[in-house]
Amino acid sequence: MTGNDRSTSRPADERTNGDTRSNTASPAGDRTRPTDTAASDPTAKPSAIHGEALRIGYPSTEEPVVTTDRVDVPAGEVTALVGPNGSGKSTLLKALAKQLEPEGGSVLLDGRDVAEYGPKEFAREVGLLAQENEAPGSTTVEELVYHGRYPHRGFFEAVSTADDEAVDRAIDLAGVDHLRESPVSDLSGGQKQLVWIAMTLAQETDVLLLDEPTTYLDLRHQLQVMEVIRELNAERGVTVAVVLHDLSQAARFADNLIAMKDGAIYDWGPPRKVVTEALLEDVFGVAATVDGDTPEGPTITPHRPVDRGDDES
């Protein structure tokens, strides 16, 4: 692992003295930062989920795929995991979502090891939307969203009014009310994704983890999905961690970025600190110009791939 020093916690805040957030906090006026005053002291901002001394791998791999001393998903904020293909961002997300048990270290939700949570109990706290999802052909949107209530219902329990209300809220927030009775198989890719997000929203969790929710969507639906996520975060204070393929999109929408390279965290912090020309060259292997002064977050203009010898993408 190169850059062991960089994989330790909060380098972006450490490298700059003083308040890193206050001078960048208002590029997009719609972003709410509930704990702005604590920005200069990163340890004061509590993490919804954090990982300690993580070594994450699959049964089929000898070496761990992801190693990191510390990873934080700050409560009430949107955190985006970015990095090239194979950098381990989805793997890290799976470990945070309790889908993959780390080989070493632990993931803690509100300070408690996720291994101690029962499956349904955890699913009431943390929602996860996988990258690709498949529903049986004739399932209607409403039926699918009702499955989001699974962790709230006992084995023999019928639907309660709380379930109905949660489903209505989820469908409303995802903006799929007009599709309610349609079979999921009749929907476009973008509509499907919004419906799946609605199902995850119906879980009514405080934390939401999403694995590349925009990757295969057209631009309009990509923006729609990101809007829903921002709205969820702003209105309900839901903590979001999202793996994004598109660095520009991540820079625009997220409060924090976690940039990953070769299974380690290369850098993390607010987009304006993390997205630099050096990062694009080191992590993504791209020569690019970064304009950090635009109101919508840093703008990236990629030029050409950099020859790195060990090229993989």
Restricting to residues 35-94, which ones interact with another protein according to CB under 8 A?
59
Q: Does 236 bind another protein (CB under 8 A)?
A: no
The answer to whether 77 and 271 have CB atoms below 8 angstroms apart is no
Give the nearest distance from C-beta 58 to another protein in angstroms: 12
Q: Which is nearer to another protein, 29 or 118 (CB)?
A: 118
Structure tokens at 268: 């993390």
Length of the chain: 313
Three-state secondary-structure class, residue 198: helix
Q: What angle do CA 153, 240, 219 make, to 5 degrees?
A: 110
In angstroms, the Cα distances linking 224 to 27, 95, 102, 129, 153 are 20, 27, 33, 16, 30
What character string, x for contact with another protein (CB under 8 A) and - otherwise, covers 139-168?
A: x---xx--xx-xxxxxxxxxxxxx------
Rounded to an integer, what distance in angstroms lies between the CA atom of residue 104 and that of residue 119?
Answer: 20
Kindly state the smallest distance separating residue 250's Cβ from another protein, in Å.
22
Residue 136 in contact with another protein, rule: CB under 8 A: yes
Under a CB-based contact definition with an 8 Å cutoff, are residues 259 and 204 in contact? Answer: no
Q: Is 122 in the site for another protein (CB under 8 A)?
A: yes
DSSP 47: E
Total of residues contacting another protein (CB under 8 A): 45
DSSP 274-308: H--HHHHHHTT-EEEEEETTSTTS-EEEEEEE---
Q: Which helix (H) or strand (E) holds 269?
A: strand 264-269
* Shortest Å distance, C-beta 184 to another protein: 10
Which residues, in sequence order, are CB contacts of 11 under 8 Å at separation 6+? Answer: 5, 267, 268, 269
- Point out which span in 6-14, 29-37, 43-51, 124-132 binds another protein (CB under 8 A): 124-132
**Binds another protein by CB under 8 A, chosen from 48, 82, 135, 275:** 135
Q: Which is nearer to another protein, 160 or 188 (CB)?
A: 160
Min dist CB 106 to another protein, Å, is 16
The residue type found at 95 is: A
Secondary structure letter of residue 175 according to DSSP: T
Indicate the residue among 128 and 173 with the shorter CB distance to another protein.
128
213 binds another protein (CB under 8 A): no
Q: In the set 19, 110, 168, 231, which binds another protein (CB under 8 A)?
A: 110
Q: How far is the CB of 96 from another protein (least distance, A)?
A: 12
Please say which residue, 143 or 281, places its beta carbon nearer to another protein: 143
Please name which of 179, 175, 173 lies closest in space to residue 143, comparing C-alpha atoms.
179
The reply to whether 216 sits near another protein by the rule CB under 8 A is: no
Site residues for another protein, window 163-202 (CB under 8 A)?
185
Could you say which of 55, 124, 236, 245 contacts another protein (CB under 8 A)?
A: 124
Q: What is the DSSP letter of 65?
A: S
> Cβ of residue 249: shortest distance to another protein, in angstroms?
23
Nearer to another protein, 172 or 186 (CB): 186
* Residues at the site binding another protein, with contacts judged by CB under 8 A: 59, 97, 99, 110, 112, 117-125, 127-130, 133-139, 143-144, 147-148, 150-162, 185, 203, 206
